Amino acid sequence: MRIVLCLLVISATALTGCNKSGSEEEISADSSGSITPVVQTIKSPDTSVADSTNKNNSHSSLSAEPQKASALTTELNKTHKPRNAIESARNATVFIDTGFGTGSGFFIDKQCTVVTNKHVVMLEKKDIRELEENQRELADYLLRGIANREDRHRLTERMDALDKAVQSYYPDGTPKEIKITLVNGRVIQAKTKGISTQFDLAYLHIKEHGCDPLIPLLEDLPLGHKVYTIGNPVGLKYSVTSGIISGMQEYEDISYIQTDAAINPGNSGGPLIDRDGQFVGVNTMILEGTEGIGFALPAKEVVSDMQALTREMSLAVQSEEFRQWEQGVKSHKPEQNDKKDSEELKAAVRKCVLEYDNEEWGAALPECKFAAKKDDPQAQFLWAQMLFGKGDRISRQKAIKLIKQSSKAGYAEALHSLGAMHKYGDLVERNISLSDDLYKESCEKQYSMGCNSLGISYLEQNMYKEAEGAFEKSAQLGSTLALYNLGYLSEQGFGVPVDKKRAEDYYSRAARLGSNIAQYRMFWYSYKGFAKKKDYAMAYTWLMVSELDKRSMEDDLPGWNDDIPANTRFFVEKLLNTQQRQKAKTDAKLLVEKISIDAEKHRRKHLYQRASI
């Protein structure tokens, strides 16, 4: 018989953890590049339900006669008033999150001590090695590139979860932070105050008092007796399943209650109770390769173990370490704080964006940092831009991390920026397939530069029809450079018939909206007479416009710089007399003024709308 301890590790991504059969999962890729689930896991205790019922059963010092509801119970009953003993037990059950996994627990005394499985709040060395090895293997796999966008998104989410998991524990396997969620949604920080040396049990301390604990049922229950398990399987908080007592089983010299109540990852440490809400045992394990065979540590063992640790835990709570920890404990009440926090975040984001756009970097920085640390993706992106401006290695590394966080949240500007970095191998690994994926997602989110960059990438791959479609969408979203690129397709005959007149129309539209490179192209069309008769005066006018009007932020193209028009002008002006040159200069100034007005209207009309503004 092989027992599997089933903690739900990194439950948000299901990267590791027991499946219904108690097997383990990992990520692997076949030769075709498709992703298939295999098994690999941190073997962490799951749950099993056991029960022994006797209404005349003798209780230990942990038990007590029903009394008036305590302060914490009163708080929970306001929103989750129990209608039966099962729901009362639910209110005493908690959800536990350590960063590397999740599990369950429940109040076992009036001092709000939470009992759970040791494996819920501590990783063994082999588990740490496995987690960190999984992280390295998945990182290496992602570096090789994944063509399928759905697979890439799924695996990058898993990579993100693994990164967070391996940062959530100390070298000895203890968590850096334990969060307990009550049934009403309130989150409380917890600290381990006792670890059993005999059983898979741990005891947690919280800065609360006056809990109504679950009462232990110490006598054996007959086979077939109905029992219930309460826990948080696969993220479904406070789920209840039922079954019967199937028997008693020995494993490693410890007697466990066997039950057929459904046990799933995340139930570890939760209570197995009878119909009166008394706890019969602590859900701990399942039998690998089976369904409906789970095991719980009997209540009498839990009571005995806690009594043996009473003095040790009392001294721990009175220690300076615990006093300092309690001073820093924060309890989160969503119904009171969320609205205020949300308003503060919105205000910070608004200031971050406005001050950044006004180039008020000193004022923008603290607002962007505050909002970025609250996981606002556009603030993360803007803070990253300011960090890039510093130029030092540490700032660049921080900026790249922020860009990746923002892009994972789906922020279009970050997706485009990260796509460009991957295309050229700028501070990250070069990956054209990934770059195209990021550009495409940015374009799908209606970001004009994302569509234009996607079109350029298609053009480089000789995918002319796809390039034309991407440029057209970019132009509809307001990109003047996309208009230029559409003109270039017609001029060169890429995917369309060569049509110099059509090309000039696109160049003219882009030029009149402030594109320097399009203005320079209009000079050549007049100078060479591509679409109509040569006109040196008009050519000189457009050359002057291209030299004077440097508003466009999009004309960052290989081979183009703002000095080209000025360097060319000296050769062209020899073809005109003084009067023609003077008129061309006057016309150019008037045209620049009109372009300035039209370009600003166009920019405002098509300004990319950030989500939080």
Q: Are 398 and 365 in contact (CB under 8 A)?
A: no
Strand partners, 296: 257, 283
Report the distance separating Cα 524 and Cα 542, nearest Å: 9
Mean pLDDT of 263-288: 86
Q: How far apart are the first and last CA of the chain?
A: 59
Q: Are 495 and 503 in contact (CB under 8 A)?
A: no
Largest CA distance in the chain: 116
Q: Are 21 and 293 in contact (CB under 8 A)?
A: no
Mean pLDDT of 21-34: 30
Report the distance separating Cα 17 and Cα 12, nearest Å: 11
Q: Phi and psi (nearest 5°) for 230?
A: -120, 135
Report the distance separating Cα 330 and Cα 198, nearest Å: 32
Annotate 6-42 with three-state secondary structure: CCECCCCCCCCCCCCCCCCCEEEECCCCCEEEECCCC
Percentage with pLDDT > 90 across the chain: 47
Q: Which two tokens stand for residue 388?
A: 């890039």
pLDDT for 245 beyond 80:
yes
Reported as a pLDDT band with limits 50, 70 and 90, residue 383 is very high
DSSP code of residue 175: B
pLDDT at 557: 64
pLDDT at 612: 46
288-346 pLDDT per residue, tens:
767 778 899 999 999 999 999 999 999 999 888 888 888 777 655 555 556 667 888 88
279-287/3-5 β-pairing:
antiparallel
Q: Which two tokens stand for residue 308?
A: 């043996």
- Enter the pTM of the model: 0.54
Question: Which of 9-23, 106-120, 255-269 has the weakest average pLDDT?
Answer: 9-23
Q: Are 290 and 262 in contact (CB under 8 A)?
A: no
One-letter amino acid at 140 equals: D
402-432 pLDDT per residue, tens:
999 999 888 999 999 999 999 988 888 888 8
Residues 6 or more apart whose CB falls under 8 angstroms from that of 35 comprise 27, 28, 29, 151, 154, 155
Q: Phi and psi (nearest 5°) for 466?
A: -65, -40
Measured in residues, the chain has a length of 613
